[in-house]
Amino acid sequence: MYAYGNLIGGRWVAGEAEGFETVNPARPASTIGRYSAASARQIGRMVDAAAQAQRAWRAVPSVERGAVFARFVSAIEARAEDLARSITLEQGKPLAEARAEVMKSCAEARFMAGEAARGHSLVMPSARPGMHNMVLRRPRGVIAALTPWNFPILTPMRKISPAIAFGNAIILKPSEYTPATACLIAEAARGVLPEGLLQVANGGAETGAALVGSAGISGVTFTGSVATGRRIYARAAEHLAEVSLELGGKNAAVIHDAKDLDACLDQITTAACMCAGQRCTAISRVVVRRPLLAAVTEGLVERAGRAVLGDGLEPGTTMGPLTNARQLARVSAMVEAGAREGAMVLTGGRSADVPGLEGGYFYAPTVLGGVAPSMSVAREEIFGPVISVLAYDDLDEAFAILNGVEYGLTSALFSEDNSVVQRFVDESENGMLHVNHGTIPDNHMPFGGVKSSGVGAYSVGASAANFYTTEHSVYIRHA
């Protein structure tokens, strides 16, 4: 059983707000953690401690900061197995996926440790004689990070790594469904990072809102739903804090022609079903040229049937449960709405009974056929293992479907035709574009979305500097 309050300064302190518990989504009767939430007063103390720690940290040369931060990454790696188990216990994904999440977080963090030393300042030519111009980047200050429950280490580390490496302090408010991993991350930081540089505030929306609204916060980085993103954007605007919002997606794979259709469908199925479909970058629409429709639909249904649902800690499990009862109800209702609107449920379409795990939040991998672009299952984020298949006759129609949603996170095209590839690269209205593979991103490439999928700087790789530092134009005249 995990039991945590809040890491304020360098000490764990019981929260003054109402406490809460987490459960194992595969066995909801089993309590996994007890947490006490931070009050607004405690958030105020954390912001003060962060500001104090950041004043000292920003004075540490960036190369040295990178070296200290790299020791923190080593401390995370040393606890990889404990971290992976905490993810599976509260979030539900299979242990192998949880281990991969920990390792990807560390790989992205190692890039950031190096990025601290590389810096992003520029020497510029001057318009006047005897002058040198520079564009300097400096740490932004105290960062508030709010994270969802689907990637309990990857998303927090995507925010902690650039924040610390670029000289900031950070206060993390993890999801109230998966706080254990965040608390273990904070444990790993103790004795490695200076006190107050990384603090953890537990709680739900109220704690998050208090954090975002604190005047001492210079930047708010949020990953989560569009509705919450809007609220956070508005609240941060009250004190003009910079924001980086990473929101939802309704990601499509367009299959125009595929040299190896089996490999294509394998990648799409993985991208749709990993984390039980609860990934912002999950493929949830397959847009297929009509002559390939029958083969694609049949292949997806067959692959959906191969999933082994179960407790993520059990060897052999390939898909865990959804993370909470609300999510199970939401996915079920959305698929039912799709069926009412005329979609055909080709497989799945219901919660799944797993022997011995009755009451677990399992949902059967689902393929919906005959989906029209106007249907809700073609437009709204489902965040479950559900693929909507839409057919097209010509490329204009394919691009109209691909871009005809409010989201713009990631996209994939399968085609050997160079002109189709070029058009996709020019016209796909998404932050990330993949050709002839699924939607798994690299550890050093910008990650983010356009339209309703994101606001502000992308995270991961060099782009993070745009949010985690401020820019200063410097003019030096030789005396």
CB of 248 to ligand NAD, least distance (A): 3
H or E segment to which residue 123 belongs: strand 122-124
Of the candidates 246, 264, 275, 381, the residue annotated as catalytic is 246
Q: Which is nearer to ligand NAD, 202 or 297 (CB)?
A: 202
Q: Rule CB under 6 A: which of 431-450 touch ligand NAD?
A: 449
The terminus-to-terminus CA distance of the chain in angstroms comes to: 65
The stretch near ligand NAD (CB under 6 A) out of 58-66, 200-208, 313-321, 370-378 is 200-208
The site string for ligand NAD over 232-251 (x = CB under 6 A, - otherwise) reads x-------------xxxx--
Sign of the alpha-carbon dihedral angle for 453, 377, 23, 77: negative
Q: Is residue 89 involved in binding ligand NAD (CB under 6 A)?
A: no
Taking the C-alpha atoms of residue 195 and residue 216, their distance in angstroms, rounded to an integer, is 18
246 is catalytic: yes
Contacting ligand NAD (CB under 6 A), which of 58, 231, 239, 379? 231
Report how many residues bind ligand NAD under the rule CB under 6 A.
29
Q: Is residue 379 involved in binding ligand NAD (CB under 6 A)?
A: no
In this chain, which residue has its C-beta nearest to ligand NAD? Answer: 208
Helix (H, G, I), strand (E, B) or coil at 163: helix
> Which of the 8 DSSP states describes residue 391?
E
Residue 409's closest CA among 241, 269, 284? 284
Q: Which two tokens stand for residue 140?
A: 């932004």
Q: Which is nearer to ligand NAD, 261 or 337 (CB)?
A: 337
Q: Rule CB under 6 A: which of 285-314 touch ligand NAD?
A: none
Taking the C-alpha atoms of residue 325 and residue 202, their distance in angstroms, rounded to an integer, is 21
Question: Which residues, at least 6 apart from 167, have a Cβ–Cβ distance to it below 8 Å?
Answer: 54, 57, 58, 60, 62, 65, 116, 138, 139, 469
The stretch near ligand NAD (CB under 6 A) out of 110-118, 137-145, 217-225, 343-351 is 217-225
CB of 47 to ligand NAD, least distance (A): 15
Q: Rule CB under 6 A: which of 144-183 touch ligand NAD?
A: 146-150, 173, 175-176
Of the candidates 90, 264, 280, 381, the residue annotated as catalytic is 280
Q: 204: buried, middle or exposed (CB in 10 Å: 19+, 13-18, 0-12)?
A: middle
Q: Which is nearer to ligand NAD, 97 or 176 (CB)?
A: 176
Taking the C-alpha atoms of residue 158 and residue 281, their distance in angstroms, rounded to an integer, is 15
Phi, psi dihedrals of residue 266, rounded to the nearest 5°: -60, -45
H or E segment to which residue 262 belongs: helix 261-273
Q: Which is nearer to ligand NAD, 91 or 469 (CB)?
A: 91
Taking the C-alpha atoms of residue 267 and residue 64, their distance in angstroms, rounded to an integer, is 41
Residues that bind ligand NAD (CB under 6 A): 146-150, 173, 175-176, 204-205, 208-209, 212, 223-225, 228, 231-232, 246-249, 280, 381, 383, 409, 449, 453
Known catalytic residues are 246, 280
